[in-house]
Structure 1
Amino acid sequence: MLSEQSAATVRATLPAVGAHLNEITERFYAGLFAARPDLLRDLFNRGNQAAGTQRRALAGSVAAFATYLLEHPDRRPDAMLARIAHKHASLGVAPEQYALVHEHLFAAIADVLGEAVTPEVAAAWDEVYWLMANALVALEKRLYEESREPGWRRWEVVERVPETREVVTLRLRPCDGGPVADARAGQYVSVRVQLPDGARQIRQYSLSGAPGSALRQISVKRVAGDGASPDGEVSAALHARVREGDVLELSAPYGDLVLGEVADRPLLLASAGIGVTPMVAMLAQLAADGHGGSVTVVHGDRSPATHALRAEQEMYAGKLADSVVRFWYEEGAADGEHGEHGVGRVDLAGVVVAPGTRAYLCGPLGFMRGVRGRLLEAGVAASDIHYEVFGPDLWLGQEG
């Protein structure tokens, strides 16, 4: 994919570029938002920008893509690209925006690296950028074409259900009365909310209802902000302002953490906190399909009182032919209809992992790294471990 001449140049300059990527991406975003403040107001997550997580995710994706091209010259990191493409499609990213990103990204590279950016170096990294950008444009084009709900659509809130003090479930139906396109268990939608300052901020929320329903269902955790930063501004607005009869703008469903063809193979669904949402949808799908293989449900939370959608987890697991449910709570335990409950953080030491298991993970990065490590030790293939990150993906490059 990468020409031999450019590969040699990228290999020689990758350490220097990689060492300055955080500074480069910081200047990139500063230049981009100075030229196009509307992008920060209406497209990019202001909370992630303030925290620096989007900057680190961009730096990580560029470095991971360049490294992959050098190590696997005849392939490309499809898992990483697919994850980015789904997120971009949910935001409505357009092909022409890649040229804008290129302009400001390469201006930032020149500013930071100065005379080290020779014409040869610039040409090599330009090739890397457009290989990645064109691959994403093609993937996003296909996603847009496959979507049965193109663009933004208005949805009425028909029910609001408090799950815990921090989590509320919203059930919505399309205002136009049209059909609800099928969503795959594990996918998410983007929700666009107008805030008091006029910004129209976008956040992604996993669909927590059973696939095939005439309604869309999302479960929103209120993110605690400090009031001085935009972190949590959308979830706070949804909790404080949205009631039955209100209207929200939603994208079509996207996301690559989906069950796929699982036949009756053994599955493990591991979640922590609000990471439970896509797992509930997967359990609902498995129950509806009459999945005959073993299903192990693992979840960790602060306490039984903060465990959202617990009843749904237990209900759907109880409908399966062969299921085991294990919950861990850092503060106390609780009796349940199914499975066992432990005190502390999730510990897979006592969980039986059947040969041929496929695993799906969702929760904080530390939780997922720990679970993935234990699964690999138990003999689960890296390609059979799939994950979802809420927010910018700081765990790039995992092909499994």
Structure 2
Amino acid sequence: MDLLLTKGAQTCQDFVNLVYQDPEIVNTFPQLSQLQDQLNAQSPLPPRAQNCSDGHGGLRNTPNSSPASGVGGFTPGSEPPQQPLCGYVHKVTKQKESKGRRQYFSAQLQCREQTWTVMVFDLAKREVFISAEQDKRAVQLDRVKFVDGQNIWFKDLSSISFVQEGSLPFSYDVSLDVQTLPLEQLLNSHPDEVNVHIAAMQMIQVGHLPTKAGEYLQRVEWKVADRTAAALLTLWEKPLLSGGEWYDVTNVKVDFYMGKLRLQTTRETEVTVVKSTHIPYALPSDSAIPENVVLKISCVQLDVKHCCPRRHLQDGACRGKFITCKKQNCKMKFSCMDLKRVVSGRLHVRDSERVLDLQDYHIRELLGNKIVDDSQSTKNALETALLKIQTVSVCFYKENILSMTAST
């Protein structure tokens, strides 16, 4: 009961209404009816009718707030009024994982005065959010946590329910949905995300970039086009395209750099091949097709270095408990425990004079981050682990290694 008292009058009202439905409880606690009359006097209208009919998404100015205090009377950093949000659901995402390894998904809630970003930690409610988006039905969110003036959290105690059709004084905004647009239209309008129907023309660049977490992401840049215009498409950790094929690419970000239209994939992007025998463009003469080759390992020579948390390579061996980064723009002192291994080397192919230059991300693809970063794994131990793999499957593009995996 003490916990309920800290949740505000609305939570107490809901609890009293719930227990009042049991006749035995009412007979046992006769003063319960008096308590319910007091709560009803403080809130004469039912919560749903009171909050959804105002059309402000459930946030209204309270007697202790003014319109200048924030969105709907909510000042970021303060506790918002305990009222539900009413609106329409847009852009329900896939399941994600937070830094704390917690599973969630996000969505957009279109209210009358603004659009909120909803982070939903109750994964069981995802089908309800998807249904609300597909059917374009208005919903009401109860007991959500307001993080700031743009974001809210939908947690285990939160709830979602459908609102009677026509009860909101505003309609579904189609412009908030991710639309499929031709490339030419993107040159004039600048939406945040779009779906595109494009043909892969030519692979421009391939590489791997490190993240703050120390992982490597594959980055492949393609020249793409449709029947209206051309653009550059950057694929992050996505399947390789084939020149001349048509693709449906969803949820790509739109950007302009040096006057050129650029598209970038996101975590929500899906790439689907569109089966068609019609190739509308002649591929460039210097275009190449990725080649998959299975090779047997003959010998491995590795070199192990270290880098600071800002990924600056350190020259020589790292001795002592602390080191000072020698990079001119860094000059920071780090504990040796914070240093990260950077392994590179050469792989000799059996029955051939071919030698592959191995980068750190190639070795991590073969052995895994845990083995490479283990302090007990010396250079000799890593070389032995690679030799035990014996056979690798390598994908080449113009002599550049796109990927390398252990072959069974």
The structure with the largest alpha-carbon Rg is 2
| TM value normalised by structure 2 | 0.27
| TM value normalised by structure 1 | 0.27
Structure having the larger proportion of residues in helix: 1
Which structure has more RCO (C-alpha within 8 Å, separation ≥ 6)?
1
